[in-house]
Amino acid sequence: MGSIERIQNVAKRVAKWHDAGHQIVVVPSAMSGETNRLLGMAKEIMAQPDGRELDMLASTGEQVSVALLAIALQALGKQAVSYAGWQVPIKTDSAFTKARIRSIDDAKVRKDLNAGKIVIITGFQGVDADGNITTLGRGGSDTSAVAVAAAIKAAECLIYTDVDGVYTTDPRVVSEARRLKTVTFEEMLEMASLGSKVLQIRSVEFAGNYKMPTRVLSSLTDPLTPLAEEAASGTLISFEEDKNMEQATITGIAFSRDEAKITVLGVPDRPGIAYQILGPVADANIEVDMIIQNQSVEGKTDFTFTVPRGEYAKAVEVLNNSVKAHIGAAAINGDTKVSKVSVVGVGMRSHVGIASQMFRTLSEEGVNIQMISTSEIKISVLIDEKYMELAVRALHKAFDLDSAK
């Protein structure tokens, strides 16, 4: 949606699907750079603008997009109607700038679809119980699209983005990265949470909760690409593990540059101490990821955890103001020059030796592991950020992800 020409191309693509007999609901994002421009103006006026007013401001970007797309479709002879989130309505809670969807009334949408119209709904936004416009946070248009698809019980949700699918890792880091034809919901959820920017994690959560088949495709292809070819392209997020799962131990390598590590030193080793440290951090709405507590020595231990790099200063402030003196900690140290690298794959359930292969590979490259966390289908390590790309390339090769499957 970056220009009038791009909007017209979107209209041609949508019209193609409609001509094939499909009922279509479109959930576009704002034009490229528009949300940043709007929020930038607000912050020129005030360093910390009120959340309600930020949502009122930011929501206008999507309203421009839906109206222009409706006009572009009408110019192609299609009946198209656009709605803001509050008109549907898409009802949310009142957490301004990061609201969560509570319900979607699909009556108006279904009526328009049954009348042969193409419905266009603003992404990224909704309305709370008091009638305030709310926004869903960065990447919220993906979340809106999957939520709307679930509400109308769509056959499939197509997410068009600037990449042509989900890759084994970021092709900008590893040129040999391959596009995956399918990926399981669990794998996509892990990859989204671990740093893959293809889909926002909340959109993947919605897809999983409502079993909504979701396909990631490129918006940069010819909009008149034959329908059968386009429908089979990209990456399908499925809800059944591939029959060849046991042949593929690892699906992809995810990474996040946006990490910071905090260590609370000299913590009394007693029941409840983890809550006393992390409770105030959670109350400040700061997300904690990896956690390690060292072995107790003479009744004292060190407690280390990671937070998003952008929340590091706020987290340290909370710890210094509300935690350090209260629990009698000796000091608080931090490091903002760390990154997280993860191997992900449902095949890990039926294969042993994944962790040892990962650790051996990093050791051979001279990469020191600072922290480790695991789940049933992923292993994550925290390392010095200067080794991140080296680690990703080495692991991608070690797990044979650059070979055509």
Token digits of residue 101: 């969807």
Beta pairing, strands 371-375 & 331-344:
unpaired
Q: Residue 246 pLDDT more than 60? A: no
On the question of pLDDT at 155 being above 80, the answer is: yes
Q: Which of 6, 7, 123 is nearest to 68 (CA)?
A: 7
Reported as a single tens digit per residue, the pLDDT across 187-198 is 998 888 776 678
pLDDT value, residue 402: 82
Per-residue pLDDT band at 78 (split at 50, 70, 90): very high
In angstroms, the CA 392 to CA 389 distance is: 5
Phi, psi angle pair for 96, to nearest 5°:
-55, 140
C-alpha–C-alpha distance, residues 166 and 181, integer Å: 8
**Given this model, what pLDDT does residue 245 score?**
45
Residue 248 has pLDDT above 90, yes or no: no
Q: Phi first, then psi: give them for residue 235, nearest 5 degrees.
A: -125, 125
Residue 95's CB is within 10 A of a number of other CB atoms, namely 16
Sequence-distant (≥ 6) Cβ neighbours of residue 225 within 8 angstroms: 233
**How far apart are the C-alpha atoms of 235 and 187, rounded to whole Å?**
12
HSE-up of 145 (CA within 13 Å, CB side)?
25
Average predicted confidence (pLDDT) for the chain = 92
pLDDT in tens, 281-304: 999 989 999 999 988 888 999 999
**Residue 61 in this model has a pLDDT that exceeds 80:** yes
What's the pLDDT at 16? 97
Distance of alpha carbon 403 from alpha carbon 177, whole angstroms: 9
Judged by average pLDDT, the poorest of 142-156, 180-194, 260-274, 323-337 is: 180-194
* In contact, 280 and 323? CB cutoff 8 Å: yes
Comparing 87-91, 98-102, 243-247, 321-325, the range with the smallest average pLDDT is 243-247
Spatial separation of the C-alpha atoms in residues 295 and 269, rounded to whole Å: 9
Domains of the chain plus CATH, in order, are: 4-241 (3.40.1160.10), 252-398 (3.30.2130.10)
pLDDT at 181 over 80: yes
Structure tokens at 312: 């590091």
Mean pLDDT of 319-329: 94
Confidence check: pLDDT of 5 > 80? yes
Closest CA relative to residue 214, chosen from 245, 235, 232, 230: 235
Q: 244 pLDDT exceeds 60?
A: no
SS (H, E, C) the chain: CCCHHHHHHHHHHHHHHHHCCCCCEECCCCCCCHHHHHHHHHHHHCCCCCHHHHHHHHCHHHHHHHHHHHHHHHHCCCCEEEECHHHCCEEECCCCCCCCEEEECCHHHHHHHHCCCEEEECCCEEECCCCCEEECCCCHHHHHHHHHHHHCCCCCEEEEECCCCCECCCCCCCCCCCECCEEEHHHHHHHHHCCCCCCCHHHHHHHHHCCCCEEEEECCCCCCCCHHHHHCCCEEEECCCCCCHHHCCCCEEEEEEEEEEEEEEEEECCCCHHHHHHHHHHHCCCCCCCEEECCCECCEEEEEEEEEHHHHHHHHHHHHHHHHHHHCCCEEEEEEEEEEEEEECHHHHHCCCHHHHHHHHHHHCCCCCCEEEEECCEEEEEEEHHHHHHHHHHHHHHCCCCCCC
Average pLDDT of 63-67?
97
State the pLDDT at residue 348.
86
Q: Which amino acid is at 351?
A: H
